């Protein structure tokens, strides 16, 4: 995530706890007010984190209800993550300049409205559009969480607040699939999958009511000029690259689709040129080109795209396979995914503890464990058989152990190779690339899955194959690519520093 600057003098509307045993420092909250403020921002963080995984479990039901094509289903996920990534750096700087409390509350309001719009979406196209708005609102909201914690909590409370945020991340990983499965299967008031979005609305309203009362306002000491043009160019370039990858199958892979991809690449090249020009003028670009000359940073970006790209697409295709291929319900699908989350929670603490001594080794080990997990899953589904719960749970548990070793410490290991003065900017870019990597993974690996599904279905005579064989074959086509992404991520990680940066968030 972005790393907002440390804070400014207390604005007039800074909240101060009335029950503090001693006066708070400027801009800081203590006592019951601090607890409520932390609760508000953790509520918002939980919603943002859950909104990725919760949709994957509901994806087959969304597709059936809205008659969504495979490409539209991919965009339902990719639009959110791409918009989220696009907003992170700009959102952090907007909060620094115009007030983190103000931007947080406005973003939370927009997130709630977009969630309601998702729940009311009459078509797949409408859902994709409002998912993009929801993701952008999340991209502006999330950086304020870090900014508010760093600027408004005293040092002793700050460490506890970041620890609570880490716990919420783990809880969201577990709760997302289970909550999504439970809500879809419960079919409350006949709303089906729409409840996964409606649940955000009362949560956001409670957070807003409390946030207006207890969140302190804070700004960066200096208002920085926003690189809006650079942010838009980067987003448009990535979108133009992803568009033909996702839609190419539906379009019949026309020549103009590849031309569109080439235009996207040219836009990204133009973006780098524009950022160079801003740097020469002494302005602050979205991406400082000097960072790309740092080998650990570029290796880290490559590893991140591969690592998180494989992760985001995996749960989409796995959810479709489990429900459409093996006949499991949404709740049962969530239970199958649960060991993955449990495994990641078990190793994440150890990964963080040993990262200052053996960060790179942990990352490589984690990536290779994920590769092994995907290879085992390929072996389970390759012949069209329907694996039992414990077979799938064991394989996913191994993957979760690998994820816990790698995901929490990747950014800290990368930042160990970045000069301290550039660490904040590098962290922001890195978090953005994580989200973009997820969108790229959904586009690329999702396309392989749906293409295999279509070709197998076309080549097989009607009724001569079971859903397990059909969807198992499609999943088996994706698994070697998944293995390859994690192996390549492990290779890229070899160029990273040996240990994590001390004290990096």
Q: What is the pLDDT of residue 313?
A: 83
Judged on CB neighbours under 10 Å (0-12, 13-18, 19+), 20 is middle
The pair of three-digit structure tokens given for residue 81, joined into one six-digit string: 């993550």
Choose between 18 and 63: higher pLDDT. Answer: 63
Reported as a single tens digit per residue, the pLDDT across 345-376 is 888 878 888 888 888 999 999 999 999 999 99
CATH architecture of 1-9+28-226: Up-down Bundle (1.20)
SS3 153: strand
Reported pTM: 0.83
Average pLDDT, integer, range 35-60 = 83
Kindly list the domain boundaries of the chain, sorted by start residue: 1-9+28-226, 228-281, 287-505
What is the rounded distance in angstroms from the CA atom of residue 90 to the CA atom of residue 134?
Answer: 16
Fold of 287-505: Growth Hormone; Chain: A; (1.20.1250)
280: how many CB neighbours lie within 10 A of its CB? 9
CA angle 361, 365, 369 (to 5 degrees): 175
Q: How confident is the model at residue 493 (pLDDT cuts 50, 70, 90)?
A: very high
Choose between 269 and 289: higher pLDDT. Answer: 269
481: how many CB neighbours lie within 10 A of its CB? 16
Q: What is the pLDDT of residue 452?
A: 87
Phi, psi of 484 (to 5 degrees): -60, -40
Average pLDDT value over all residues in the chain: 83
44: how many CB neighbours lie within 10 A of its CB? 28
Q: 201-230 burial, b for 16+ CB within 10 Å, e for fewer?
A: eebbeebbeebeebbbbbbbeeeeebbeeb
Q: How confident is the model at residue 43 (pLDDT cuts 50, 70, 90)?
A: confident
Average pLDDT, integer, range 408-423 = 80
Q: What is the pLDDT of residue 411?
A: 83
């Amino acid at each position: 995530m972005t790393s907002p600057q440390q804070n400014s003098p207390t604005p007039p509307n800074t909240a101060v706890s009335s029950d503090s045993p001693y006066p708070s420092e400027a801009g800081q909250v203590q006592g019951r007010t601090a607890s409520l403020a932390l609760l508000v921002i953790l509520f918002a963080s939980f919603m943002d984190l859950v909104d990725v995984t919760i949709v994957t479990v509901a994806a087959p039901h969304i597709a059936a209800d809205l008659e969504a094509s495979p490409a539209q289903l991919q965009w339902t996920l990719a639009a959110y993550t791409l918009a989220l990534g696009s907003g992170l750096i700009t959102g952090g700087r907007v909060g620094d300049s115009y007030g983190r409390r103000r931007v947080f509350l406005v973003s939370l309001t927009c997130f709630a409205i977009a969630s309601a719009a998702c729940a009311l979406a009459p078509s797949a196209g409408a859902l994709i559009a409002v998912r993009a708005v929801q993701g952008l609102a999340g991209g502006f909201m999330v950086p304020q969480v870090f900014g508010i914690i760093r600027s408004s909590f005293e040092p002793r409370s700050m460490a506890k607040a970041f620890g609570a945020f880490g716990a919420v991340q783990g809880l969201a990983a577990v709760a997302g699939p289970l909550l999504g499965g439970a809500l879809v299967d419960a079919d409350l008031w006949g709303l089906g999958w729409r409840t996964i979005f409606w649940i955000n609305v009362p949560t956001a309203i409670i957070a807003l009511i409390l946030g207006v009362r207890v969140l302190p306002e804070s700004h960066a000491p200096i208002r920085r000029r926003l690189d809006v043009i650079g942010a838009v160019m980067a987003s448009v370039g990535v979108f133009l690259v992803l568009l033909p990858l996702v839609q190419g199958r539906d379009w019949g892979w026309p020549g103009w689709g590849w031309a569109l991809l080439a235009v996207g690449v040219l836009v990204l090249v133009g973006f780098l040129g524009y950022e160079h020009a801003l740097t020469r003028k002494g302005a602050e670009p979205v991406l400082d080109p000097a960072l790309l000359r740092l080998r650990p940073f570029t290796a880290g970006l490559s590893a991140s795209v591969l690592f998180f790209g494989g992760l985001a697409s995996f749960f989409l295709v796995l959810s479709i396979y489990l429900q459409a291929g093996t006949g499991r319900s949404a709740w049962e699908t969530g239970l199958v995914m649960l060991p993955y989350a449990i495994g990641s929670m078990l190793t994440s603490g150890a990964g963080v503890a040993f990262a200052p001594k053996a960060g790179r080794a942990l990352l490589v080990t984690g990536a290779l464990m994920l590769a092994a997990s995907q290879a085992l899953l390929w072996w389970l589904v390759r012949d069209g058989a329907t694996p039992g719960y414990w077979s799938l749970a064991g394989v996913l548990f191994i993957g979760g152990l690998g994820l816990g070793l790698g995901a929490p410490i990747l950014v800290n290991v990368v930042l160990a190779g970045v000069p301290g003065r550039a660490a904040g900017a590098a962290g922001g870019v890195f978090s953005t690339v994580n989200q973009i990597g997820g969108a790229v993974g959904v586009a690329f690996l999702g396309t392989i899955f749906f293409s295999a599904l279509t070709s197998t279905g076309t080549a097989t005579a009607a009724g001569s194959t079971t859903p397990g064989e059909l969807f198992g074959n499609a999943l088996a086509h994706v698994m070697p690519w998944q293995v390859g992404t994690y192996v390549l991520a492990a290779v890229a990680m070899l160029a990273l520093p040996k240990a994590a940066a001390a004290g990096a968030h």
